[in-house]
Amino acid sequence: MRLFDFKKNTINEIEYEESKENASFSRIHISSTDEIWEWTNDITKGKKNPQYEIFTGNIQQFQKNPSNPEQNELLLQTSIEKIAIFVSDSIVETALAKTLFVPETKIKIIAQEKNQGNYELKSFEILKKAPPQKQKTSTAATLIKWTLLLLAGGICLKKIWFKNNLWEKIKASVISKK
């Protein structure tokens, strides 16, 4: 496939063997100078191709959009800036998104800029899962844990005490010293 300018000069060219149904092969801007081609679900027949950007960073938070509670938003911290990316249920259902998009998860996102500084998630790849969260235990749970530990320790000492006839040995030792 070739893209020509108005003077019929080739300005971009790409070869691919298989096409995907109900998909468009779109140019995605990685930076102001770099771009890649990827399959997207945005069909652009007869229209201008949408602009996409790739962001890599750590998830800060997944939440309801404060200005539109019907919409979810992912806050992503890149090496340069913090970006809010809207997440549609058609891309990732809310219940699944809550389990995937946890703070400190490193992620690569392809997003489309809808208007100045507002992005919509198109696809994502989890690069590194967040470290497991330390479980908070209640005071009651901690008390129960220590009680069981002391009880188990007492049972073990009792078994050792009687198994080795320690009481008899101590009694014999005290009597022999008299």
Q: Is residue 40 part of a domain?
A: yes
Tell me the two tokens of residue 43: 């069909």
Do 86 and 161 fall into the same domain? no
Determine the pLDDT at residue 36.
76
Closest alpha carbon to 25 in 56, 52, 6: 52
Q: Is residue 134 part of a domain?
A: no
Do 30 and 101 fall into the same domain? yes
Number of domains in the chain: 2
Domain stop point among 128, 147, 163: 128
Determine the pLDDT at residue 29.
66
Determine the pLDDT at residue 156.
66
Distance, in Å, from the CA atom of 113 to the CA atom of 29, rounded to the nearest integer, reads 11
Do 156 and 109 fall into the same domain? no
Do 70 and 124 fall into the same domain? yes
Q: Which domain holds residue 66?
A: 2-128
How does pLDDT run across 35-56, given as a tens digit for each residue?
777 777 777 777 776 778 889 9
Collapse the DSSP code of 143 into the 3-class scheme (helix H, G, I; strand E, B; otherwise coil) and give the result.
helix
Do 12 and 94 fall into the same domain? yes
Do 119 and 155 fall into the same domain? no
pLDDT tens, per residue, the chain with 178 residues: 788 888 989 888 877 677 777 777 777 666 667 777 777 777 777 777 677 888 999 999 999 888 888 889 999 999 999 999 999 888 888 889 998 999 999 999 988 888 777 899 988 999 999 887 754 556 777 778 778 877 777 776 666 656 666 667 666 776 766 5
Inter-CA distances, 135 with 48, 116, 132, 142, Å: 50, 40, 9, 12
Q: Name 138's Cβ contacts closer than 8 Å, sequence gap at least 6.
A: none
Distance, in Å, from the CA atom of 178 to the CA atom of 118, rounded to the nearest integer, reads 91
Q: Is residue 133 part of a domain?
A: no
- Is 110 in contact with 124 (CB distance < 8 Å)? yes
- Identify the bridge partners of residue 118 per DSSP, sorted by sequence position: 115
Do 121 and 156 fall into the same domain? no
Distance, in Å, from the CA atom of 95 to the CA atom of 100, rounded to the nearest integer, reads 9
- Is 13 in contact with 2 (CB distance < 8 Å)? yes
Indicate the pTM of the whole model: 0.57
Residue 51 maps to which CATH number? 2.40.50.140
Determine the pLDDT at residue 75.
94
